[in-house]
Structure formats: structure tokens, C-alpha cells
Structure 1
């Protein structure tokens, strides 16, 4: 699952990220609400964890934008220092699925995340990005309506890149997500597979997407005008 954590306390955000990654999830941190809202235009998230009080805008505004862009099937969990009944009612009334009070009890936090994931409705089995269509159930990818032959690892890498358009993904993050802890695999494997995907899926701009290597960081997929 791809999580967005909107939390201005860096230390708190890093703890939540570590907890979620220990459960096998991907996590992107936003220190303010507006960058998260902007990311909704190009990236796909499966779950949101939001601090009620943010430096730039209120958590309620972030929630409103999430519901407008992502619908009501994506779980939203709030973290808040307000524990009174009125605050809890406000949070849930505005469209949040649940909340945890601060200071966060981490075992309870994970339990609430797992509970919401169990209740989560299935997301669409087909995703469209530019001229690329992904059949998640059939594990197939089509470019301009034609099937593209990919290995299992190429498919998994493509899905992660396509679900994170505009975001720099480090080689280490990609390696962990796709190859887990396979022996004898290093970051050069990521480079090899990225190069293959660039050719097979037209990620040099032909498909409406450009896969770029970001020096010293990793890879970023961006939308462009088809070549």
C-alpha cells in the first residue's frame, strides 16, 4: 500500500513512516497540507494519515481535497491532540474514517490502520496513465492498446513508478519494494530494469510519460506531451 503521511513534526512523521514500512507499506511524508493536495493531481495513494493541525492549512481542507480527488473509498486516519467528544465528532462528521489521539500509542495506531484496511473497498482493477493501461488482476500492461510483454519484476517496478508520477523514488526504495531481500541483487538491477521499461513502455516521451534518472537520488516519472 502507498501511504501519505501529512505531519509537520519531522520526528513524529519518521516514526510513523518506520512503523508503516515495517508492515511492508510505501510511505511519502508531507510536512504541510498544500504539497499533499498538489501531489493528488499526479500520484496515487491508498491511505492517508493526517495531522489535524498543520502549519499552512487545516487538516479539514486536506480531507476535503482528498475526498474530491480520491473519492470515499480511500481510508483517512487523523492524528489529533484534541481528545474531547466534540472534536472527535467533528473529525468523523467531516469524512474521516477514524482518528488516534496524541501522543500516539503506536500499537493502537497500527491496529487502527489494519482495521481500516480490512474494511477498505477494492480499488479499480484497471489503471490508465497516458497511453499506458495496467490490468492489475491480469498483471498485464498495454501500450496504445497493445499488450507489452514484461517479466514479473518489470511489471512490479512499472506499477510502482506509475503510481508515483512526479515523485523521486530512490534506488534503495525500489530495490526493497520489488526485490525485497533477494540475495545477490543490488541497485544496478534497478538501473537495468528501468532501462528495459523505458524501451518497452515508451518512457522516453512516446507514451506521454518520461522516466528520468535523477543524479545521486533515483528515478522520477513525469507526464509530458507524447512525442
Structure 2
């Protein structure tokens, strides 16, 4: 789980990051907190990166938390969960932040157990952020967590069982849960279990290439797995009549190279 934390107080930031990791890391999924001292730095990152949750302080330099929230909801049209964590406790401030699009509001000084409980409750309401359920369905694709496979229902009604590796399953689920939205390479690498180390770029691309083939992520199925330059990948539904060749899902040279290494 990737959480972006905006706070310009180093002491408060350190305490908050420690509290979130201790309170939310259950062992099933590692919690990664990415700190930001300035709102503009976080806005720049949000144009490139993917996060499961944002924790925003109100009073920070150059672009405060509420201004950032307004940009996120009004211009980016992002529905990523946001918790405002601020010393501003006036009723009009709380109501204003919630009205702009905050999912919750916690007044400083916060209580660790309460903050983590609010976050867990919020994530439980967001299927794409909750721990993987035994069965998750996305149109014709049904993800079976227990058996690490995807059941694909064809146009003729016949269901095909597609076995996946653990990494392939987690990667595919992340893409389907963020259907229609770009997903950053860093986020996908984290879903593959890569922490504190680099995975060669072509290794991630090879996983994506194999998933595209295994799950039939092409125009005939009504989906397209598209490369987003400088960011990562986006799985999107095709508009009726749209040709997959109009997209940029994979450069031919990269695809052919990955095909040569598919068994490696």
C-alpha cells in the first residue's frame, strides 16, 4: 500500500509515518509512506505516481492541502481517498474540506489508533484498496485469489480458467482495480513485491506483455492495455468501433524483444 503524506513539520512527519506503518502494516501487504514537505512537490508527483491514499496537512508551503485537494478532485478527476490531518478545528474548515472532496478529517494532535481505524474503515469501503477478496469480478474477468487464476467468460458463455503466477495475479489485479486510470511503474513494482531495490525495466514490461497475452487484453475483448509514456500503464475499455491500433499499448520493438525472452 502506497500512502503519500504531506506535512512540512519534520518531527510531525516522522511520528506520522511511524504511526501509519505500525498501525496499518498487517504483514499481508507492506505499507510504504512517501513524505512530502511542499504541496507543489506532491502535485508534481501525483502527475506521475499512483497512491492508494493521501494524508494532507492544511498549512504547508506554496500549495496548501485544501488547494491540492481542490485540484485533485476538480481538474484531475481523481477519486483516490484523502484524509485531511490538520490543526484547524473550526467547523467551517472541517465542512469546507469535506465539501471539496476529503473523505475524512482528523484534527491534530491525532490519536494513532483512531487515525489508523479511520483509514482502515475508509479503505474497506474502496474495493480497489481493500485486501484482495476471494473472488473479484470485472465484467467477463473473475479473479480467484485462492487458486491464483482468472476465469474468463467468452461471448459464447464458455468460461476459461487462466492460471497465473502469484506476481502475475497481483499485477493483473492492480491494473483491473484501477481500470481507466494510469498506474505508475513504482506502484506496479510494489505490487510485485519489489521494495528497496530496482527491477530491470524490461522485467516489468515482460510481465505486462505476458498478462496481455494470457488474459486477452486486446480489442477483441473490449479492453486495451496501454503504455502511458513517462508513467506506467493504463488498462481501459475500448469505445465501440475504436481500433486498438490507434493506441500505443506496446512499441513493436519492445514487444518482439519481450516475446523472445518470455520463457527466460
Quickly name the TM-score band, shorter chain normalised.
0.5 to 0.7
Shift of 1:14: 2.6
Cα pair distance change 1:43/1:168, threshold 3 Å = closer
| Match of residue 152 from structure 1 | 166
> Does residue 1:114 correspond to 2:147, yes or no?
no
Flag the structure with larger Rg. 2
Q: For 1:118 and 1:96, how far apart are their aligned partners in 2?
A: 16
| Match of residue 4 from structure 1 | 4
The number of aligned residues is: 186
- TM-score for both structures, normalised by structure 1: 0.61
Shift of 1:19: 2.6
Shift of 1:197: 3.5
Aligned-partner SS, 2:34: strand
| Match of residue 178 from structure 1 | 193
Aligned-partner SS, 2:106: strand
- CA shift digits 1:55-92 (9 cap, x unpaired): 111212110122142534x3211111111222222222
> Does residue 1:16 correspond to 2:19, yes or no?
no
Q: Which runs of 5+ in 2 are unaligned?
A: 26-30, 130-135, 151-162, 176-181, 210-225, 234-247, 254-264
- CA shift digits 1:176-196 (9 cap, x unpaired): x7289xxxxx96xx758x764
Cα pair distance change 1:163/1:39, threshold 3 Å = same
Indicate if the aligned counterparts of 1:157 and 1:174 stay in contact, CA closer than 8 A: no
Shift of 1:199: 4.4
Shift of 1:163: 3.8
Cα pair distance change 1:150/1:14, threshold 3 Å = farther
